[in-house]
Structure 1
Amino acid sequence: MSFLSTVKQEVKGLSPAYFALVMATGIVSLGANMLGFPTVSEMLFWANNVVFAILLLLLLSRILFFYKRFIADLTSFKKAAGFFSLVAGTCILGVQYVQQKQSFAPASVLFWFGLGTWVLLIYAFFLMTATKSDKPSLKKGISGVWLLIVVATQSIAILGTLLTRHLPFPPEQVLFFTLSMWLLGLMLYVILITLIVYRLTFFPTTPREITPPYWVNEGAVGITALAGAFFMQHISSTTGFTGFLPFIKGISLLAWATATWWIPVIVLLEIWKYLIKKTTLKYTPKYWALVFCVGGYTVATFKLSKTLSAPYLQPIPELFIYISFAVWAIVLLGMCLGIVKAFTAGSSKSEG
């Protein structure tokens, strides 16, 4: 198989959730910026811009040259929710522009692109799931990937809040919209996590079914806590919203506590899968969801420690930032080895 043929095969089979790489790199970069690693943060910022451009080009190529495969994924119960990683990755990159560069023009472009994509995906997804005649059972149809819907919704809420005074609308209207998105994301989390816990609890679960997206059980509610922390920072300066502050504080703490509870649960499931059941550890793009969730918890805890005036929380992000760096590097190594293996195998077939 020639180099070009291998590229075509990789583009054809590109995971809809691959923008989790942008999500993960962006959130780790933000954590590095907040916790005093400016060089690492800067490197990851520019790397994320390159990765975002490459993945967007690959996605457009897939739509253009492998349209049937793209539509098949878009109408799949297992894969369709992965496309929401595009929305989340776009908005997290926008947050990087605001937080790390104070550059509001590119952040605004990314916001509108993310919001437009979210509108298209959210209604197409739920129309597909409601009207499709050939539906899988709950056991086979739902997984942690579905919670990317929540992550995408909350990422729009965060970026929109940061752009409150830089969008062509009165700040009160922007904040009303982003607060509504935050509450919508919270509602979607409650609905989806109920189904996911029901599936895990009352259906037989094999090691193969414990996949990295189950980390989004934690990550989706973690980014909800992060969005709440950003609201607390911006709401006091906007007319008519100060009454929401106690409510936002309570919900943000609830979200953070839930995210904290999920971490040991998922770690124990990973131990059961890999150490007890001896499952082989193999790279998949879905591992970037794990990286995002660890990095997101780091950033959310750091922001909450500041907005809630809770310095006793500070040791948590100071530890988790190193875990985030390590997990990001390990998954990156796995991705690079996987790419080399794919092209080496293609070259061997060509020579044979």
Structure 2
Amino acid sequence: MAAIDSALVRVRRLAPDCFALVMATGIVSVAASEHGMPTVARCMFWLNLFLYVWLLALSALRLARFRNEVIADFINPSRGAGFLTLAAATCILGSQCVLVVPLPKLATWLAVAGAAQWLVLIYLFFAATITARIKPGFTRSINGGWLVAVVATQALATLLALLAGDRHVLWLFASLCLYLLGAALYLLIITLVVYRMVFFPLRAYQFSPPYWIDMGALAVTTLAGSLIVLQSPATGPLMALQPFVKGFTLFFWATASWWIPLLVILEIWRHGWRHVPLRYETDDWDIVFPIGMYSVGTYQLAQALDAPFLLPIPAAGVYASLLLWALVAAIGLRRLYRKSLGHRRLPHR
């Protein structure tokens, strides 16, 4: 009974953005596949499939047993956007089914599921935030986690582009529309995020890992735009838009590149200067995902622009993302082991 109660407590406290683990594992797997590590990529795919199903089951159990807590998280502006990691993770897993392990039927089903999740979650989140009767205030509401809305949109655009090809021009058109929508959402949300960071006091502990999505949202936008260029047919109306998409995609990649040194400086300020202790959080996967996505996005951008001089960046980035993924996973498993050890000892006290 004690073990069941302990498990239910963990389910009750399940973070809204728990699917960031799937997002990070999925994109690092794709990066490994692009750089000649098929065994690593496939192992990470099967692990990711297990993690996705496991987290989906835990989320369903939490919704069934602790509905009030789920609703409270969803209508909380600082946490509600985290639920969109479900849609993003579904689409990234679908992209793995195209780029890592050839499972086109599963990829199609995941695209349909991801589109449905995206439609429901993105509209409900913004509707709940807008119509909330009690709002916690600007500084306690807005953070980098809001940009998961952009990540989910562009992850869906990416998967549709991968599945489109020459046979499904409508899918490619839908991908292009989602790409442009994601770009618009980024410009809207990042304005609020930067305004909060610059003009209001930001404590070191408040600079949490989701702020790395400031860059990650741009990286996945780069990936989506690059794939749209690569998948566009040689003739037709979409071909005429290629110069625009190329320029816009390069704009987002350049901005993502600008963010990286600033985010590293802020991490040094947080942990080195202000001495915020390093400890595992679910949010840590929000750092792994942007770094992995930047590597994959840059690799595809080099193909789309025929710019091989960009390839050394993802060639180094894939190892950085693999190392960071392994480090965060090891710290997380160590914490889980210590917690389970503590629960086993508890009855003997």
Q: Smaller-chain TM-score range?
A: over 0.9
Q: Is the 8 Å Cα contact of residues 280 and 328 (structure 2) preserved in structure 1?
A: yes
For 1:202 and 1:296, locate their aligned partners in 2 and report how far apart those are by CA, in whole Å: 29
Look up the equivalent residue of 2:154 and give its one-letter code: Q
Structure 2 unmatched ranges of 5 or more:
none
| Deviations, residues 143-164 of structure 1 (Å, cap 9, x unaligned) | 1111000000000001011112
Partner residue of 1:213? 210
Secondary structure of the residue aligned to 1:236 is coil
After TM superposition, give the deviation of residue 238 of structure 1 in Å.
6.0
Partner of 2:134: 134
Answer whether contact 2:38 2:100 (CA < 8 A) is retained. Answer: no
Q: Which residue of 2 aligns with 1:184?
A: 181
> 1:249: which partner in 2?
246
Counterparts in 2 of 1:110-189, with a 5 A limit? 110-164=110-164, 171-189=168-186
Residues 1:336 and 2:308 aligned together: no
Question: 1:272: which partner in 2?
Answer: 269
Question: Aligned residue for 1:36?
Answer: 36
Q: Distance in 1 between matches of 2:197 and 2:254?
A: 21
The question of 1:259 aligning with 2:256 is answered: yes
Note the aligned Cα RMSD (angstroms). 1.3
Pick the aligned partner of 1:194 from 191, 204, 219: 191
> TM-score with structure 1 length normalisation?
0.97
Distance change (3 Å), C-alpha of 1:78 and 1:99: same
Cα separation, 2, equivalents of 1:76 and 1:99: 36
Aligned position for 1:67:
67
The aligned residue for residue 200 of structure 2 is 203
**Identity %, equivalent residues:** 39
Q: Secondary structure at the match of 1:286?
A: helix
* 1:327 partnered with 2:324: yes
- Could you say which residue in structure 1 is the equivalent of 2:5? 5
Partner residue in 2 for 1:296? 293
Q: Are 1:171 and 1:238, in contact at CA under 8 Å, matched by a contact in 2?
A: no
- Within the candidate set 212, 221, 234, 1:224 is matched to 221
Structure 1, unmatched stretches of 5+, are: none
Q: Is the contact made by 2:165 and 2:231 (CA closer than 8 Å) also made in structure 1?
A: no
Q: Is the 8 A contact 1:29 1:45 kept in 2?
A: yes
Match of 1:16 in 2: 16
Check conservation: 1:6, 1:342, Cα contact below 8 A: no
> In the alignment, is the contact (CA less than 8 A) between 2:165 and 2:232 conserved in 1?
no
Matched residue pairs, number? 349
Which residue in the other structure is 1:93 paired with?
93
How far is the alpha carbon of 1:76 from its aligned partner? 1.0
What is the CA–CA distance in structure 2 between the aligned matches of 1:300 and 1:252, rounded to whole Å? 10
Paired letter, 1:211: S
Structure 2 contact 16–83 (Cα < 8 Å) conserved = yes
Contact 1:31 1:321 in 2 (8 A): yes
CA contact (8 A) 2:78 2:142 kept: yes
In structure 2, what residue type is equivalent to 1:263?
A: I
Deviations 1:175-196 (A, max 9, x none): 2211111100000000000000
Q: Counterpart of 1:95 in structure 2: which amino acid?
A: S
User: Any conservation in 2 of the 1:3–1:343 contact (CA below 8 Å)?
Assistant: no
Once residues 324 and 238 of structure 1 are traced to their aligned partners in structure 2, the CA distance between those partners, rounded to angstroms, is 37
Aligned counterparts, 1:101-112, within 5 A: 101-112=101-112
| TM-score, with length taken from structure 2 | 0.97
- Alignment of structure 1 residues 302-321 onto 2, 5 Å: 302-321=299-318
How far off is 1:29 after superposition? Answer: 0.3
